[in-house]
Structure 1
């Protein structure tokens, strides 16, 4: 068979399984509303948790950043590291309570680059089974002995740490701080205790925690700060700039030694053109806004609490999530796609998540909330969901 024949066959199989993914075209980055394929919809699928992707101050900062150049022109280590990059890294280190930070072009590159720099075939990586794909791929590409444990299962984690210890070599424990498809948090304090007991290093992916949660001292720092973990307890922290920060790119934060090491050995950092100055300037402005306007996080917390209270009153099948990610697990791919299409017909854009992104039998609507949503927006969505699920026989009338 030719290449095209093989590809068409595999694509046909995916369509038959109702797993085929299709692009939606928006005219601009969504606020709570957006024009999608020419039609205005109320958006509950964005990771722009604080509504900063459309803030005038952030856009203005990006425009000003472009005056430094349309692109960085080379990798950071050649001549692509500009003053705006330096300032962004300093700001990230400050708000995360770490000694230093290193920016990457994406969270995927940050996770793969860090894991592959830290580990080799003689080492071990212990991972939660529901980790993000970038952590999974980093584990595979590193060549390290990969050991996995059931989601948030501390006993399972300890068993794998014991196996890793008996094998020898360094051990890295990699987990999401907030899980992107379930919205629940890792028990980081307990995981850090296990890591200390077995002399393992803890790496936390803060993609969905950075900017929206933290501690009194470090309110932006994410789930690690919320759990009270120091740099010593969580020595490797990855965060993205494309979610709560409303921009693009990512970072690793940790000790000065860690950042110096990654600068020398993280191949996706070394061999990639530096982050564009406009993106760096926009990200810096957004982080400063989050720091200076704590009411943004407050509004998001209010919206999450309101959504959960009303959804539970209506009998919707919520998961145990206190984050902006509120999944409704419907199980069947056909049901999820039917409900998502019906929601879109009624004016709502909600993510329909199916395998392989989530395990078989756990297809879901992934509802994401933003500080920019109004209570009226949430009520409209819940009313539509209640009626659609009642008509489908999922809820009692």
Structure 2
């Protein structure tokens, strides 16, 4: 196995996240979740009847405060984080999070929906940290170009889900063609090395242009959210960009907090560097024209 641990396959990342939490967590469990975690994670917590606390987005010092306050109050503590967050394009400090796990001995759930493929087999794999992660979910609908999700965990947890996980038991398996495609991608992952390297170059170019034009972003990855402000201004800018043949949709309130409506750019190795340069020139023009 590439991941050197047992793997279970789910029909979707949503079901995978939800099933892990609702199967292993109950009213004697505390779940501490990053404030911006996926809806699937939140739904799993609601179904589990666990106590929920949220820490400020990517703020591991806040997480540590919550752990100190609650370490002796529950039978189990689960901490849940994604690696790359799709709405802001920012990234967890995975090594620091695992250092906290070693200190407080909680169960760790990590979602790699937006890092699988872009970071080869995932960020945890690249950093040799899989052994420290109790439940590693790898949804395949983004960089995997597919559907379904891997769950990487130990054999005891895998067996327990097979026997107790409602979203695993009471659903129809994906068609064999999907499974074959997922296996094909896994086996060929190293062949995409040049594309991954080129994507890094595009990412560096895009971030240099964001800085040059003084655009507002929290991103440090290949997902770049440019904060525009209000919905009306966002509509003017996206309509202008569509007229210029850029396929851009805005992310509006209330999906994101008031005043943070944004354009979200997902870089792809199918783009050229000229595409990136031209797009940011047009976006800069729009940002300085539409108020």
- Aligned residue pairs total 291
Given candidates 109, 112, 129, the residue that maps to 1:229 is 129
Task: Give the secondary structure class of the aligned counterpart of 2:117.
Answer: coil
Shift of 1:258: 2.1
1:366 aligns with 2:229: no
TM-score norm. by structure 2 comes to 0.94
Out of 256-265 and 107-116, give the one that drifted further: 256-265
* Counterparts of residues 50-199 of structure 1 (less than 5 Å): 94-95=1-2, 97-199=3-105
CA distance in 1, matches of 2:156, 2:272: 45
Q: More displaced, 124-133 or 350-359?
A: 350-359
For the Cα contact (< 8 Å) 2:11–2:148, is it kept in 1? yes
Note the alpha carbon deviations across 1:289-345, whole angstroms, 9 max, x for none. 322331121111111111111232233223241x21001011212222221222112
Displacement of 1:128 in angstroms is: 0.6
* Equivalent residue for 1:338, pick from 223, 236, 239: 236
Q: What is the distance in 1 between the residues matched to 2:122 and 2:81?
A: 13
| Structure 1 stretch displaced more, 374-383 or 222-231 | 222-231
What is the CA RMSD across the aligned residues, in angstroms? 1.6
SS for the counterpart of 1:275 is: coil
Q: Specify every segment of 5 or more residues in structure 1 that has no aligned partner in the other structure, as ranges.
A: 1-93, 214-219
The equivalent residue for 2:288 is: 390
- After superposition, the C-alpha distances for 1:249-301 in whole angstroms (9 at most, x for unaligned) are 11211222222222122211111100111111222222323223311211111
- Does the 8 Å contact 2:77/2:107 carry over to 1? yes
Q: Answer yes or no: is 1:381 the counterpart of 2:279.
A: yes
Aligned to 2:176: 277
Return the structure number with greater relative CO, CA threshold 8 A, min gap 6: 1
Query: Which of 188-197 and 126-135 deviates more?
Result: 188-197
- 1:22-61 aligned at under 5 Å gives the runs none
- Equivalent position to 1:291, from 174, 190, 193: 190
Q: Which runs of 4+ in 1 moved over 6 A?
A: none
Aligned to 1:77: none
Distance 1:297 1:317 in 2: 26
CA distance, structure 1, for counterparts of residue 286 and residue 141 of structure 2 = 32
Superposition deviation, residue 349 in structure 1: 1.3
Shift of 1:356: 3.7
Instruction: Return the match for 2:217 from 318, 322, 345.
Output: 318
- Deviation of 1:223 (Å): 2.3
1:200 to 2:106 alignment: yes
Q: Conserved in 1, the CA contact under 8 Å of 2:78 and 2:109?
A: yes
Q: Distance in 2 between matches of 1:143 and 1:359?
A: 27
Q: TM-score normalized by structure 1?
A: 0.70
